[in-house]
A and B are shown apart, each in its own frame.
Chain A
């Protein structure tokens, strides 16, 4: 049975797979290669050098933007994880409540909504709120609010599937032994869904750190996040210091994602093992 399955993996298919993967990675690898080029001319190899990396740390505009982006990313992903976990709990645990269809729709729609539409509609909301209530001032607050909105959707989807798979009988046993529902959830189920929560925090962090379009709309004139600064530099053409900065970000983000994916895979595997053992 298992052999029959593996026999159906012809080399032609695997070739396409590996060519596809190679094409996905080639531009990033070339970019990292160029970032160590000592020549300021982008098409001439002038030898290995880390000059451009050194220069980054003397660019105040970049450093300030990077700091803002980091602050936004940490705040927004924490907020998104909180809201997304609540939304996932509501959708998995409560089969029926008024507004369930609305919540499902609002959780899924941001995933496919073009950023440019989300960006402009949220800006118009913030501007109108400012007129009516004198809050929020455009800048850090509005960027965080809009990032929480689209990140919460990703958290909900990730946590939802893990929560649906979690064994409820353990929690029920805890409640039979006198634990309150909240206590049973926190002590039994939360540790089970923790890998999903941690990895979705990391995913939100990278999504927020990366966002250009929505931030450009809602940031207002005073604040610039890192992608906004990079975009305005890139608009002027390829430059060696952007290569260095891009390589740093790509590597940092890559590590975050790899850890997130690894956490999810490890807990998947452990769960598969446990169900296997329990079955025997």
Chain B
């Protein structure tokens, strides 16, 4: 490959590199630093971790209190576990629903694939907050679902869905289903159909061919889609806050309350850092498969 543009190269590379470094990566360093501070009634509301004394000596005031607090106050442990469990089962249900959808699109004529994908993606791009709100209109006690069911005489009194775990599950599945369908479609579409024909010629039943060929070959899509649902779902704030009840404490909501309710920025930073460490594994898996897929 010719190496051209030598002098102008850095004009192209540096602006995005520096911008993302300053506004995406370095903020984590600040959060890490402030997680060792203590809340203080001042502006900004925390003590200095790094400061200089009058005679220009560097002074470090590191407090591990916030992390100790996370370990001792059981709210955090409960919220972490609840978030992981909710995200895990929502991801599983999205997979079960999303796989046949992606498969159907991948097997439909090329000319209609683009339109079908657009129809699937349209809700994803359309205001997340408003879609959660729209879902509330369906599942609340006097909402669309209960009105229809009561009208049909299928139930005697309204189903209680709002402010329960079920509402949180429905919210996550409804909001994140498109995330699952897209990467699954991307791998299923690339699948070499001659393999399936070969299997059929050799006497394999369609079900057998699916289990032996299609499913194993679509594993990268399964993993990418699952991570795309799982990671944001663990950190979800809007859904548990609007649809869930007081028991549906997810970690995003705890962090939000710590920050906006208690104004304890250092504890909120510690929650964020601990949460990030917890997510490091799934994020690394996603990045690995994503980079491999981009290079393929």
Contact = CB atoms under 8 A, between A and B. Distances in A.
Interface in A33-57: 34, 42-43
Given A30-B134, A124-B27, A258-B118, A250 B174 contact: no
B232 to A, nearest CB: 6
Interface residues of B, number: 98
Of B12, B197, B268, most buried by chain A (CB within 10 Å of CB) is B12
Nearest to A155: B16
B155 to A, nearest CB: 15
Interface of B: 1-2, 4-5, 8-9, 12-13, 15-17, 19-28, 30-31, 34, 44, 97-98, 100-101, 103-105, 107-109, 114-116, 118-123, 125-131, 133-138, 140, 142-144, 147, 174, 177-178, 181, 193, 196-197, 206, 227-228, 231-232, 234-238, 241-242, 252, 255-256, 259-260, 265, 268-269, 272, 275-276, 279, 283, 286-287, 290-291
Contact of A90 (B13, B118, B241): B13
Of A97, A125, A172, A242, most buried by chain B (CB within 10 Å of CB) is A125
A108 to B, nearest CB: 6
A258 B121 CA distance: 10
Q: Would you call the interface of chain B mostly helix, strand, loop, or mixed?
A: helix
A131 B227 CA distance: 37
Contacts of A230: 129-130, 133
Interface stretch (A58-66, A99-107, A187-195): A99-107
A168 B260 CA distance: 52
A116 B252 contact: yes
A159 B285 CA distance: 24
Contact of A210 (B5, B105, B127, B276): B127
Nearest to B265: A124
A167 B104 CA distance: 32
Given A28-B123, A42-B142, A249-B130, A128 B16 contact: no
Contacts of A206: 125-127
Contacts of A13: 100, 103-104, 107
B265 A115 contact: no
A204 B271 CA distance: 29
A83 B16 contact: yes
Given A43-B143, A207-B125, 18 more contacts: A12-B100, A13-B100, A23-B174, A30-B138, A31-B137, A82-B15, A90-B12, A94-B12, A97-B13, A106-B24, A113-B283, A125-B22, A125-B23, A152-B20, A212-B128, A234-B129, A250-B130, A265-B114
